[in-house]
Amino acid sequence: MDVSGRTAVVTGAAGGIGAALAAELTTRGARVLLADLDPAVAQTAAGLGQGHWEGDVSSADGVDALLAAARAHLGDVDLYFANAGVGGASGLGDDQDWDLTLEVNLRAHIRAAQRLVPEWTARGAGYFVATASAAGLLTQIGSAGYSVTKHAALAFAEWLSVTYGDDGVRVSVLAPMGVNTKILWGDADNPKTGDALAAQKAVSEAGGVLEPEDVARMVLDSVDREDFLILPHPEVLDMYRMKGSDYERWLSGMRRYQSKLRALAQEG
């Protein structure tokens, strides 16, 4: 899909990958609504000359409000970038941790699709882009919630593509490893420790840490080709194939890798 002249909604767009996607869409001639819970989304949008919506997509009411704002600002929505995400708690987490991670990383995608797909199938065109993670193909050392919800987001996108691909709905999934964003590095005032630090090292040491702007260009190039799986780190595909070829070996290798990362985290 050529995005020039199209309309797009990008969630999680105050900074990071979302802001970079909005900027790249703008460069390529799209009209964009930037959405985020962070008030900084207003400044990001103003810098691009685009509209914004400040709110929370972790509820049905939030998604309804976002799409109402999008229709008021853009008219029909051609592309939806379900990019908002949270890192989740370390380890198993508690019920509150799981509720938040599931609502943002998965159910926000489902709710947007429930509202947009009927419109898209009626007119025979629409594009859903989900930001998942290499963790959705592999796993995330340190965080059960992040790993599970990214697996689920990818699985939901697969289902959308299979079910509605012949009706004109296009679907892509972004699955990077390390990207230079807050979700990787965390807050400088509250540095990561223990399993959270091990999780960070699992990502930052497995491959190069890319800049959001580079990832955004890759995403839009893939949208132009209508690729389903977008892998800014091509080595992820080799890791995925290795996992599938010998699951037991992969699991034991991941346990060894986790032990190594925990030792590194203890050293600081």
Per-residue model confidence as pLDDT tens digits over 6-36 = 999 999 999 999 999 999 999 999 999 999 9
Predicted local confidence at residue 194, as pLDDT: 61
For residues 93 and 135, the answer to whether their CB atoms sit within 8 Å is no
Predicted local confidence at residue 258, as pLDDT: 87
Per-residue model confidence as pLDDT tens digits over 115-147 = 999 999 999 999 999 999 999 999 988 889 999
Where does residue 201 fall: left (phi above 0), alpha (psi -120 to 50 degrees), or beta otherwise?
alpha
Which one-letter amino acid corresponds to residue 137? L
Q: What is the mean pLDDT of residues 45-64?
A: 97
Predicted local confidence at residue 265, as pLDDT: 73
Distance of alpha carbon 224 from alpha carbon 189, whole angstroms:
40
Predicted local confidence at residue 45, as pLDDT: 98
Q: Does the pLDDT value for residue 252 go beyond 90?
A: yes
Distance of alpha carbon 7 from alpha carbon 96, whole angstroms:
35
| Backbone torsions φ then ψ of 180, nearest 5 degrees | -75, 80
Q: What is the mean pLDDT of residues 59-65?
A: 98
Predicted local confidence at residue 141, as pLDDT: 87
Q: Is 22 exposed, middle or buried (0-12, 13-18, 19+ CB in 10 A)?
A: buried
Short-list 105, 159, 162, 163, CA closest to 135: 105
3-class secondary-structure state, position 51: strand
Predicted local confidence at residue 21, as pLDDT: 98
Quote the DSSP letter at residue 135: G
Short-list 163, 97, 145, 147, CA closest to 254: 147
Predicted local confidence at residue 56, as pLDDT: 96
